[in-house]
């Protein structure tokens, strides 16, 4: 049996009859940038996220970058996030001129540990020299924002994070790029911070047929600022209040996203069902740790990630059996070359480091069949019991 890590072709067959006429209509009307597809999608996605406003942008990275800019984050500011995420989270921070700093994750959920956030801020009050990982730098930075990442489709523990942020005057920007439709105590991922940032990279739970992203927010002011930033800093054509970016969501991608959004709840339900079946089969195999779902969370399983000690061997075995897998993410951000100048070292974030060595993402998409899940579980059992 051949089981890809992700199969976007099978999903296309389900929506082809809507996508192709939509693309043809866009060509016939020469409607490519802005227009009713983009505004229609923004209204529908805001509603989906239980948020008042949505601004479509060109990627999840742009969503984070524009959100930080609109929130006034820049040089001299620290933005606190986790080392266990995709680098886009920290690229956005650095690219607005701020400094990314890390706190470790919870060993069960793999998301930001609110206690570690609190400890970091407490230490920070004692003075920058005790916790600043950039001792050579003469620039004193102050914590300004926190970015919890809802990794793999499960929301971070938002209540304590929001409370700590409030106490310390920090802006909260949710990185919901992997969590479209996920719930925290019944609240939609992306709807709890000042803004929520989404990616519509093709492999996401809601994926475009190209690049795409969005910011959702209750704040009209933030939404307006982000709309300006995505469009060269202009609210009116050729009148630029500030320098922005070319970071718009295009009309054909918005059209694709509208077609897919109607199906997202049922696709997410199918992912949850697949995860439950994996859980059932894999929990019986010694040496495999299945994903933990916290009481407060309803995960949408963007990824289904297990832990196993001999992860490389298991990955090779699954590959030999025709099963695609992934590593999300093998090198923690604090140990990446890109952040070497910050002076972090091995051992600084032990939970992240331990998880990064053992994680393995299994095939996960709504159309995965029971037979495919059984085959993956059988192959894992074979390897673990060898």
Ligand X SMILES: Cc1ncc(COP(=O)(O)O)c(C=O)c1O
Please report whether residue 325 would count as binding ligand X according to CB under 6 A: no
Please report whether residue 293 would count as binding ligand X according to CB under 6 A: no
Q: Cα separation of 304 and 318, whole Å? A: 15
Considering only residues 169 through 198, tell me which ones interact with ligand X, judged by CB under 6 A.
175, 177-178
Site string for ligand X, 343-362 (x = CB under 6 A): --------------------
Q: Which of 41, 48, 66, 86: binder of ligand X (CB under 6 A)?
A: 86
Binding segment (CB under 6 A) for ligand X, from list 22-30, 83-91, 244-252, 273-281: 83-91
- Residue 80 sits at φ, ψ, to 5 deg, of -95, 130
CB of 151: closest distance to ligand X in angstroms? 6
Binding segment (CB under 6 A) for ligand X, from list 54-62, 130-138, 251-259, 338-346: 54-62
CA angle 153, 266, 371 (to 5 degrees): 85
CB of 377: closest distance to ligand X in angstroms? 26
Tell me, letter by letter, the H, E, C secondary structure of the chain. CCECCCCHHHHHHHHHHHHHHHHHHHHHCCCCECCHHHHHHHHHHHHHCCCCEEEEECCHHHHHHHHHHHCCCCCCEEEEECCCCCCHHHHHHHHCCCEEEECCECCCCCCECHHHHHHHHHHHHCCHHHCCCCCCCCCCCEEEEECCECHHHCCCCHHHHHHHHHHCCCEEEEECCCCCCCEECCEECCCCCCEEEEECCCCCCCCCCCCCEEEEECCHHHHHHHHHHCECCEEECCEECCCCCECECEHHHHHHHHHHHHHHHHHHHHHHHHHHHHHHHHCCCCCCECCCCCCCEECCCCCEEEECCCHHHHHHHHHHCCECCECCCCCCHHHCHHHHHHCCCCCCCHHHHHHHHHEEEECCCCCCCHHHHHHHHHHHHHHHCC
The residues pairing with 184 across neighbouring beta strands, listed in sequence order, are: 187, 297
CB of 122: closest distance to ligand X in angstroms? 27
CB of 362: closest distance to ligand X in angstroms? 17
What strands, in cross-sheet order, belong to the sheet with 187-188? Answer: 187-188, 183-184, 297-298
Q: Which of 49, 68, 71, 88: binder of ligand X (CB under 6 A)?
A: 88
Residues 6+ apart with CB under 8 A from 258: 37, 40, 41, 44
Q: Which of 105, 146, 149, 156: binder of ligand X (CB under 6 A)?
A: 149
Binding segment (CB under 6 A) for ligand X, from list 46-54, 57-65, 112-120, 128-136: 57-65
Closest among 56, 71, 48 to 195, alpha carbons compared: 71
77 vs 211, beta carbon nearer ligand X: 211
Binding segment (CB under 6 A) for ligand X, from list 86-94, 109-117, 158-166, 355-363: 86-94
Please report whether residue 61 would count as binding ligand X according to CB under 6 A: yes
Please report whether residue 303 would count as binding ligand X according to CB under 6 A: no
Please report whether residue 48 would count as binding ligand X according to CB under 6 A: no
Please report whether residue 201 would count as binding ligand X according to CB under 6 A: yes
152 vs 375, beta carbon nearer ligand X: 152
Q: Which of 148, 207, 213, 291: binder of ligand X (CB under 6 A)?
A: 213
Please report whether residue 89 would count as binding ligand X according to CB under 6 A: yes
Please report whether residue 216 would count as binding ligand X according to CB under 6 A: no
60 vs 196, beta carbon nearer ligand X: 60
157 vs 281, beta carbon nearer ligand X: 157
Binding-residue total with ligand X (CB under 6 A): 14
Closest-CB residue for ligand X? 60
Q: Which of 3, 22, 45, 60: binder of ligand X (CB under 6 A)?
A: 60
245 vs 277, beta carbon nearer ligand X: 245
Please report whether residue 85 would count as binding ligand X according to CB under 6 A: yes
* Interacting residues toward ligand X by CB under 6 A: 59-61, 85-86, 88-89, 149, 175, 177-178, 199, 201, 213
């Amino acid at each position: 049996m051949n089981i890809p890590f992700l199969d976007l072709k099978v999903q296309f067959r389900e929506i082809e009859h809507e996508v192709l006429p939509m693309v043809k209509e866009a060509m016939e009307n020469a409607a490519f940038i802005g227009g009713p597809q983009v505004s229609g999608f923004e209204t529908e996605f805001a509603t989906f996220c239980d948020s008042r406003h949505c601004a479509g942008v060109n990627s999840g990275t742009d969503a984070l970058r524009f959100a930080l800019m609109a929130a006034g984050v820049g040089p001299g500011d620290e933005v606190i996030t986790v080392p266990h995420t995709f680098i886009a989270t920290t690229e956005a921070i650095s690219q607005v001129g701020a400094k990314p700093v890390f706190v470790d994750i919870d060993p069960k959920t793999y998301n930001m540990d609110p206690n570690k956030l609190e400890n970091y801020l407490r230490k920070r009050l004692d003075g920058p020299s005790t916790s600043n990982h950039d001792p050579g730098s003469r620039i004193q930075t102050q914590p300004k924002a926190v970015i919890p990442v809802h990794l793999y489709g499960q929301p971070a523990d938002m209540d304590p994070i929001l409370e700590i942020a409030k106490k310390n005057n920090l802006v909260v920007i949710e990185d919901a790029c992997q969590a479209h439709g996920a719930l925290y105590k019944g609240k939609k991922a992306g709807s709890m911070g000042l803004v929520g940032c989404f990616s519509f990279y093709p492999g996401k739970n809601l994926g475009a047929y190209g690049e795409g992203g969005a910011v959702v927010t209750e704040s009209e002011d933030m939404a307006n600022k982000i709309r300006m930033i995505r469009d060269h800093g202009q609210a009116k054509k050729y009148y630029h209040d500030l320098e922005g970016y070319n970071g718009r969501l295009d009309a054909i991608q918005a059209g694709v996203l509208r077609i897919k959004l109607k199906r997202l709840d049922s696709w997410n339900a199918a992912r949850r069902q697949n995860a439950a079946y994996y859980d059932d089969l894999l929990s019986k195999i010694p040496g495999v740790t299945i994903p933990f779902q916290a009481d407060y969370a309803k995960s949408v399983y963007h990824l289904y990630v297990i832990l196993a000690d001999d992860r490389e061997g298991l990955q090779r075995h699954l590959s030999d059996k025709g099963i695609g897998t992934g590593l999300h993410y093998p090198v923690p951000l604090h140990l990446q070359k890109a952040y070497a100048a910050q002076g972090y070292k091995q051992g600084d974030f032990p939970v992240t480091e331990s998880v990064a060595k053992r994680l393995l993402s299994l095939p996960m998409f709504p159309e995965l069949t029971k037979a495919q899940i059984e085959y993956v579980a059988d192959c894992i059992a074979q390897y673990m019991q060898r």
